[in-house]
Structure 1
């Protein structure tokens, strides 16, 4: 990393204050300052973690996605340097902790328009030309995650039932776009002025645009709030903003299907994260805690299946 930063800031650049952030289960995220002749530059380092590449994209693809998103008008941190197993990007100030985003008094005005702002950002994100991203995967998401669960070899009857029920009620896709794959409260940097950056692009792929909207509405990302969109807004605000910015019409029944699928996908991911801890691949209290949330997701699925 030092060599890549020297190419950007000069040979005398120094790294100071490197400290790992507490968030992130699939990437190692650390903050540091690059001390240059012109002063300090606050930066973020992203690295791979053991076992994460099973479901996440290579870091080089993540960097390419962020550059393409920036060109499309999506607020993302600027990539400063990259290597085979790391990305260095600008550090954007703001709040990322969901419960603070939902409760902080200084973010009250931003919350009022946040669902609509997310709709506008997603519409811009879905204009990214797929051809600009090499080897971006395109799979049947329902079949993909059903296969992941099967490979884990653990009995989860509720999840297996959910896959069968969703297959029977599957909506027809209308178009294929670049999908973020993890657009939610917790992967947004928010300030009093609204969304300042969209983070964590490692699950991006080609797919149905409603996948991103449904994921944002999943119960797991409401953090105890009654508001369905990220815990901060109503469906109507999200849908109206997306339709206005994209020039398309959203099928509300299809959106609900993708919201249910989001809960199912998250449940499978929780099973996987627990396996990483239990197998010794990465000992982590956070990963173990995610494993305990599988039952919570199963309960929610039983109440939402079509």
Structure 2
């Protein structure tokens, strides 16, 4: 059948898929989109199979424009295998390539109770007890995931995380001096492999469901593969996935508690130094992922404001890597949009371009729609760059020139080759470039620790 894009078409496709799954005629109600995100479309719906109770379900579907059937088959298989280990995962009810029903590869699961929005998990009072328990629970769950038998997931692939992401970084775009400094450190301090297991691959806050008692589910298994199990422990502790929380692990807890929970189930205790290495590597990995997602938009293969905006988050990871290595420190930087001088344009007068951008941003600020928040964010980035871009470019060019470079690509290449020393002047130039990007993208990030 053709790829369903409307609620009506998707509902008809789901009726076909669920009637086949339950082997009785099944009606579909309350079909609502949860997101049309950076990688998968997600929908909630109720299935009413004839003679059976109503089932609350969730559909994860590839965008019809970017189907990945083999990856979706692996995701369904790994979910089923994870359930066998006792890991809290949604039950798979149906899966397929979508050709005869929902229009693109999919998996349909029973809906689990719980909250996945990090802001709510970290701040709302009802999750206070959960926050106390989560870190150890995450360690225990990671250990169960690593008990999945690889042969139970047909087609699952092995991946050398470090080599894979270093290669992808090289192919993703211009080199970054900050990432080159971090890569040198990672290469010099790389720990021995802790083993080879099935790993979740995206084990972090945002892909975890939490109820009043703690972790109730682990979602989004599309990056599962065979690799070093310490990837999952380092990833859940990567700074980006703290979402402003104070704890090193998911914004709520310590590495010691995470490792303790893991050891209780796995029967061995990971090295905290190894987990810290994977935690730092996580910022490099997320930096490259940001570029990869932005490149999907920039190449024209998948037009998306969300993907385009993620590309600017690369600078957050540059800062996070320098911070983790003790090469920068947090500092407060006022948002240039908070104090905009009102100056008449000698030709166009008022409202000026700056005032018009502020008006659009303020208009979008009243909306609670995710798409409008994205639009407002993009407007604000453009506005900051128009206000300060020339000044920041000139300051960075001066700093690079002071250490003998015309642009940061030359500096990054020499850092990679060891042709220039990492001294105070070079570090000052690298920090200035990162700070310039963050001043435009997200000045508040410069105060984060």
8 Å contact kept, 1:95–1:189: yes
1:1-306 → structure 2 map (5 Å cutoff): 1-22=14-35, 24-37=37-50, 38-49=52-63, 50=65, 58-84=71-97, 85-305=105-325
Partner of 1:62: helix, strand, or coil? helix
Partner of 1:249: helix, strand, or coil? coil
Deviation string, structure 1 residues 174-213 (Cα, Å, up to 9, x no partner): 3111111111111011101221110011111111111100
Unaligned runs of 5+ in 2: 1-13, 98-104, 327-449
**Structure 1: 4+ residue segments shifted above 6 A:** none
Q: Report how far residue 154 of structure 1 moved.
A: 3.0
Deviation string, structure 1 residues 17-55 (Cα, Å, up to 9, x no partner): 3222137421111111112223421111111135585xx
Unaligned runs of 5+ in 1: none
Q: Report how far residue 140 of structure 1 moved.
A: 1.6
Summarize the Cα distance change of 1:57–1:272 in structure 2 as closer, same or farther, 3 Å threshold: farther
8 Å contact kept, 2:207–2:218: yes
Q: Report how far residue 305 of structure 1 moved.
A: 3.8
Give the structure with the larger strand fraction: 1
8 Å contact kept, 1:222–1:229: yes
Q: Report how far residue 282 of structure 1 moved.
A: 2.4
Q: Report how far residue 295 of structure 1 moved.
A: 0.5
Give the structure with the larger helix fraction: 2
Which TM-score applies when normalising by structure 2?
Answer: 0.65
Q: Report which stretch shifted further, 281-290 or 264-273.
A: 281-290
Q: Report how far residue 285 of structure 1 moved.
A: 2.8
8 Å contact kept, 1:26–1:52: no
Which has the greater radius of gyration? 2
Q: Distance in 1 between matches of 2:81 and 2:170?
A: 34
Q: Distance in 2 between matches of 1:226 and 1:161?
A: 26
Query: Higher relative contact order by CA 8 Å / sep ≥ 6: 1 or 2?
Result: 1
Q: Report how far residue 230 of structure 1 moved.
A: 0.2
Q: Report which stretch shifted further, 127-136 or 152-161.
A: 152-161
8 Å contact kept, 2:19–2:49: no
Q: Report which stretch shifted further, 14-23 or 196-205.
A: 14-23
